Amino acid sequence: MKKNMTFHKRKIWVVLLCCILMMTGLIGRLVYLMCFRSDYYYKKAKELHEREREIKAARGEILDARGKVLASNRTVCTISVIHSQIKEPEKVIALLSEKLKIDEAEVRKRVEKISSIEIVKTNVEKSTGDEIRECSLAGVKVDEDYKRYYPCGSLASKVIGFTGGDNQGIIGLEVKYEEIMRGQPGKILTTTDARGVEIDKLGETREKPIEGKSLIISLDVNIQEFAQQSALKVMEEKQADSGEIFQPPFLLNTRNRTLEKNGKRIKLTQVEYSVIKLFMDNPGKALSRDEILESVWGRDYYGEVKIVDVNIRRLRLKVEDDPTNPTYITTVWGYGYKWGF
């Protein structure tokens, strides 16, 4: 009997000791987490309830020797939707489809997609972005962005280069001095609840972007324009009897109605050929949509003038190095188009 009591006492002490050790370990772990790892877990918890959107930095300009702008930025907008915040999905779909000229089925697909944030369209004109913002529909975000703009068209384009859809340099000076000109993007941080819905009362935190540095080059626009016009005049005189129009890197043969770029044939429809010939007959001249419509489709055409925009879009896919950032067929805002030579 005495032996059994002694045995049971030992068991109780062992269990008690184990409990004390476990409690000591748990308290030690808790102290470690609270005192030494608190900042780490606070940051992790904050990240779970913060949504981050990037603010693009304005790219630095490129200026000629006299300070004339050769490459600058135009403000555009990126339209996005946040599924968890949308309260009137049908209104959102109708508005974005109308303003962005996108099929309703495509907009619906993006609006109904369950994700933290879904981009509907980029490179939207600022005026259109402002109209969408003024509607104040929950779940629709309008963020300003920048698109590269070349005031002198394709003048010295092989030297200056151009940027891609993400506004990063691809060729020429644009890529050579990418690190200097691209700037540093900022951030928009908004706090959300457990469902991912932004908490209005807490507002948002912004980190401002840092603009890129501008680049001044030794090229003089006036001298470059004079040299280019002189070269074109000589080429036109030589080509007058050959049935060819040569405007590097393009060669248009008016006898067999073909177009080549850097020696490679580009397949064109008859309408596209007529449009490109009109442009190459008028290098550097701004042509209105009505002028293009009458010259290509004739005075008896009674369709909509937007047929011009449709064919220009198709032509850019065939002739431009980067159709999202055209340098050959450039837009003259509110008027028409220009062959950028």
- Domain count of the chain? 2
Burial of 167 (0-12, 13-18, 19+ CB in 10 A): buried
Looking at the domain assignment, is residue 187 inside a domain? no
Helix (H) or strand (E) holding 43: helix 38-48
Residues 138 and 72 in one domain: yes
Calculated CA dihedral for residues 119, 120, 126, 127, nearest 10 degrees: -150
Looking at the domain assignment, is residue 316 inside a domain? yes
Residues 70 and 173 in one domain: yes
Helix (H) or strand (E) holding 236: helix 221-239
Which pLDDT value is given to residue 245? 83
User: Which of 7-21, 62-76, 261-275 has the weakest average pLDDT?
Assistant: 7-21
What's the CATH number where 99 sits?
3.90.1310.10
Residues 148 and 228 in one domain: no
The DSSP bridge partners found for residue 131 are none
Looking at the domain assignment, is residue 2 inside a domain? no
Looking at the domain assignment, is residue 156 inside a domain? yes
Residues 86 and 176 in one domain: yes
User: What confidence category does residue 161 fall into, taking pLDDT thresholds of 50, 70 and 90?
Assistant: confident
Looking at the domain assignment, is residue 18 inside a domain? no
Q: What is the mean pLDDT of residues 224-241?
A: 72
Interatomic CA distance for residues 93 and 145, integer angstroms: 22
The DSSP bridge partners found for residue 20 are none
Residues 280 and 335 in one domain: yes
Looking at the domain assignment, is residue 128 inside a domain? yes
Half-sphere exposure of residue 165, counting CA atoms within 13 Å on the CB side?
8
- Mean residue pLDDT of the chain comes to 82
Residues 175 and 282 in one domain: no
Which pLDDT value is given to residue 335? 87
Residues 233 and 157 in one domain: no
Looking at the domain assignment, is residue 28 inside a domain? no
Residues 72 and 146 in one domain: yes
Looking at the domain assignment, is residue 14 inside a domain? no
Which pLDDT value is given to residue 268? 93
User: What confidence category does residue 195 fall into, taking pLDDT thresholds of 50, 70 and 90?
Assistant: low
Which residues span the domain enclosing 173?
59-180
What's the CATH number where 292 sits?
1.10.10.10
Question: What are the residues whose beta carbons fall under 8 Å from the beta carbon of 58, sequence distance 6 or more?
Answer: 73, 146, 183, 209, 211, 212
